[in-house]
Chain A
Amino acid sequence: MQLTKLEMKNFGPYRGEVKIDFKAKEDKNLCIIWGTNGSGKTHILKALLWCLYGCDPTGSKKKQYGTERDAWEFIYGTYLEDQMPPEPYMHVNLFFEVDTKESKKPSQYVVKRSVSPRTPNPMNPTQIKCDFEVIKDGRQSDSPREEIETLLPLAASQFFMFHGEEIRAMSQKHAEETHKAIELILEAETFRQGKEDLSSIARDIDSDLDDERRKSGGMGELLNLKKRLQERIQSLESECLLCKNEISEKKRQLESVEEGLARNEESKTLKEKNDQSKERLKANEEERRKILDRRGDLINDLPAKMILPELKKILKEKEERHKKREEQRKTILELKGRLQLAEEVVSLKRCRLCGRPITDEERKHIEEERRAYERKIRELEEGLEEEDPTYYEIRETIAAIQSSEMNFEQFKKDLRENALSHDEIESSLKEIEGKLSESKIEEVRTLMEQKERLLTEKGAAEERLANYMRDLDEQKKRLENALKMIESREKHDNIKENLERQYDLATRCISAFESVLDRLSDVRRRAIAHHATEVFRKLTNKPEEYDRIEIDEQFNVSVMDKNNNIVHRENLSTGERLVVALSFILGLKQASEKVAPLVLDTFFAHLDEEHFENIVKALPKFADQVVLILTNLEYKNLKEMAPSSFFKHVAETFQTVRDTSEFKSHITKSEEVN
C-alpha cells in the first residue's frame, strides 16, 4: 500500500479543503510533516485512521466507529457550542495504490468518509449522517469495510501508523503492552472466538446429550416390563385355549345329552307333563288351604249371624219403648214452647205476631192456658219412659253383623271344585306314571340334570373366557405401548451415541485448535523476536554489549546480552527502552506480513544522539513508504543531525500552521531539503 494523496475538509482544526500529496517514489519514500504543538500534526494521523477505520486511534477507545453517535462524539463532540464548525460538513478522502500479483499495474483506491447534517444546525447524533465508500479502480465496493480489513486489518494498523506516545507507553509497561500487541498480530481474539465457538458447539452437544441420556434412561425397567407382559400374555393365551377346549367339550357333552333326550322324547314329554301335573297338584293344595282358611273365618262369624234374629227381636222391643219415649219428649217440648210463648205475651202485654196490645180478658185467658200447659208438662214428665242405654249399642251391633258377609255356599262350592280339580290332577298323574316307567323317568331326570349342569358349566367357562380375553387385550395394549417406548428409547440411544461421538470430536477439535494456536503462537513469537532483533541490532548504541531481543512464552520482551543473560528493564535507559519498543513494533510489523506505509508521529523525543542517528540512518529501510510527523524541534534536530543522504529519500515536506487569530490550521509545503 502506497499513500498518494490525502484530502480533508473541515477535519479537526482544519477549515476548508486541505491536501497532502505524498508523491512517494522508489528512492524517495519519506514524507515529512512538521509543525508546532497544536498546529494539527496528529490530526493528520487521525484523519488517515478515521478515513480507513472510522475510529480515533489516539483515543482510549480504539474501536471501529460506524454509527452517527460515535462520529458525533469523535468529531462534533470535541467542539464547544461557540466553536462548532462553520460548515456542518466534513470529509476525508484518502488515495492510495496497492500492488497486486495479478497485474503489473497497481490497483488505485479511493477511500471516502464523510459526515453531513440532516438538519441545518445539528444538535445531536440523530441529526447527522455518516457515509463511507471505497472505490477500487473506479468501481465502488459493495463491502467497503471488508475491503479495508483485507488490505490492512485494524489490529495491524497500529504497527504501521502510531503515535510516539504509544511507543513510550509500550516501553514503560513492557509485558502488558507487548502481550496485547502480540495478541493483536496473532489475531488471538479471532482464534479465541473460534475456540469459544467450538466450545459453544461442544456445550450444545453436551446439553443435547444430557437430554438424550434422560430420554434413553430406564431401558432395563422397560425390558423387564416387556418380559413380564409377554409371560402374562402367554399365560392368558394358554388359559383362553383351556377355556375354549372346555367350552368345546361342554358343547360336545350337551349335544350328547340332547341326543339322549331326543331319543327319550316321549319320555321327556311325559316327564314334563308329570312335572306340570305335580306343579298343578301343589297349586291345588295351596288353593285348598286358602279355602279352608276362609272356612275358619266363616265359622268365627257364624255365632254372630246365628244370634242376629234374637238381637233383632230385642231391638224391636227396645225400639217400641224408644219411640214411645221420643213421642212423649216431643209433646213435652211442644208444650214447653207454648208455655214460653204464653209467658212472653203476658210479660210484654202485646201480641207476638202483630204487636197489638192485649186486653185484660185476653190476658186472663192466656194465663189460664199457661197454667194448663204447666200442669200437662208435669204430668207427662212424670210418666216419661226411662231411656235404655243398650238400645243404641244393639242397633250398632246388628248393623255390624249385617255388614259382614258370610257365604258358606260359595265356600262349599269352592271346596267342591277344588276337590274335583284335585281328583282330576291325581288321575292324570296316575295315567302318566302308568305310561312312564320309573327307570325312564330316572334316565330323563338324569339327562335333564346333566343338561342343566352342563349349561351352567359352559356359561361359567364362557364368562371366564370373556374375562381372560379382556385381560389379554389389555395386556397386549400395554405390551404395544412398552414396545413403542423401547423403540423410542433405542432411537434416543442411537442419537445419544451420535452425540457422544460429536462431542468427542468437538473436544478433540478444541484440543487440536489449541495445539495449532500454541504452535502458531510459538512460531509467530520467534518470528517477531527475530525481526525485532534485526531492527534492534541496527538501532542500538551498544551493539558490542547487547545481543538480541527475546520474547518468552509469557510474551515478556527481554534484551539479551552477549553472555546470554537477560538485561533487566531497570538497567535500560529510557532511550534504550524506546529503541527496544520500536524494534519490537517493527518486528511485529514484519511478522504481520502486511505491506503498508509507516507513519511515525512525534517519535524522536527522549532519544540520545547516537540512537537518533541510528534510527534516522535506518528509517528509509523500515518500510516502502515512511511518513514522519515531527514537532518543529524534532524537525530542527533532524535537519542538523541527519546526514545529507537521509534527505535524498525525502519526497515532500509539509508544515502545519496554526492561525491563532482565526482558530484554524492549514498545511503548506515546506522548503526542499535536498
Chain B
Amino acid sequence: MAELPTTISVSKVAYRMFRAMCKGTEESEAETSEKPSKKRGKIASEKVFSNATQAFLVAVAVGVLRNKREKTSEDTAQLIRGEYLRKDKNHNYFKQLIKSKFDAKTDHEIVDFMVQFSEAGVRELYDEFHKTGDIDFVRLAKLASLTS
C-alpha cells in the first residue's frame, strides 16, 4: 500500500482559514502538542483548535456530514505533515469511510478526498468562527446525530 504523502496541502484560502482558527501563527505541529494550560492568564477563545491536524479533521468531518467537496486550486499551501495525520486515530476512520463510500484505493487518493472535504468544511467552520468568535461544537455534535 502506498504511503501517506509527506505533506498535506490545502488551498491558500483554506490555509488562512485554518490558521485563523488555530493557536499560534507560526506554530509547527510539534508546538501544537503543547498544552493550552501553559498559556498565560485566561485562555483566549479566538483560537478554537489546538493544532492544525485537529482543525483539518473536524473540517473533513463537516465536509463528509454535508457531503460537500471542493476541488483544491493549484495555489496551495502546506498545512500539516502526513506523519501527524497518520498518527491520529481519526485518520483510520476516514480511511475506512472513504474507501467504502468512494472506492478510493490508495492513501494518496484517500488524502485527496479528505482535502476536498476539508476545503468545503473549513469554510463553514470559518464562517461561524468569523461571526461568533467561536465554534459551537455542541451544535456540530447534535448535527451529526440529527443527520443520522
Contacts and interface: CB of A to CB of B under 8 A. Distances in A.
Contacts, number: 95
B37 A303 contact: no
Given A308-B148, A408-B137, A289 B37 contact: yes
Contact of B141 (A285, A300, A302): A302
Interface in A408-443: 408-409, 412
Contact of A306 (B43, B54, B141): B141
Interface residues of B, number: 36
A175 interface: no
Contacts of A314: 97, 100-101
Given A310-B64, A311-B97, A314-B100, A302 B43 contact: no
Contacts of B96: 311, 390, 393-394, 397
Contact of B100 (A293, A305, A394, A401): A394
B141 A307 contact: no
A289 B94 CA distance: 30
Contacts of B58: 299, 302-303, 306
Contact of B50 (A299, A311, A409): A299
Interface string A300-333: 1011111111111010001000000000000000
Interface string B51-69: 0001001101110110000
A296 interface: yes
Majority DSSP secondary structure for residues of A touching B: helix
B140 interface: yes
Contacts of A290: 37
B144 A296 contact: no
A296 B57 CA distance: 13
Nearest to A394: B96
A517 interface: no
A298 interface: yes
A508 B144 CA distance: 132
- A interface, how many residues as a size bin? 20 to 34
Contacts of B43: 288-289, 292
Contacts of A397: 92-93, 96
Interface string B67-96: 000000000000000000000111011101
Contacts of A304: 61, 89-90, 93
Max chain A C-beta neighbours (<10 A), residue from B49, B50, B100: B100
Given A289-B43, A311-B96, A314-B97, A306 B37 contact: no
Given A293-B36, A311-B96, A408-B138, A305 B144 contact: yes
Contacts of B147: 309
Interface of B: 35-37, 42-43, 48-50, 54, 57-58, 60-62, 64-65, 88-90, 92-94, 96-97, 99-101, 137-138, 140-141, 143-145, 147-148
Q: What are the nearest 6 A-B pairs in CB distance?
A: A309-B148, A306-B61, A303-B61, A289-B37, A408-B138, A303-B57
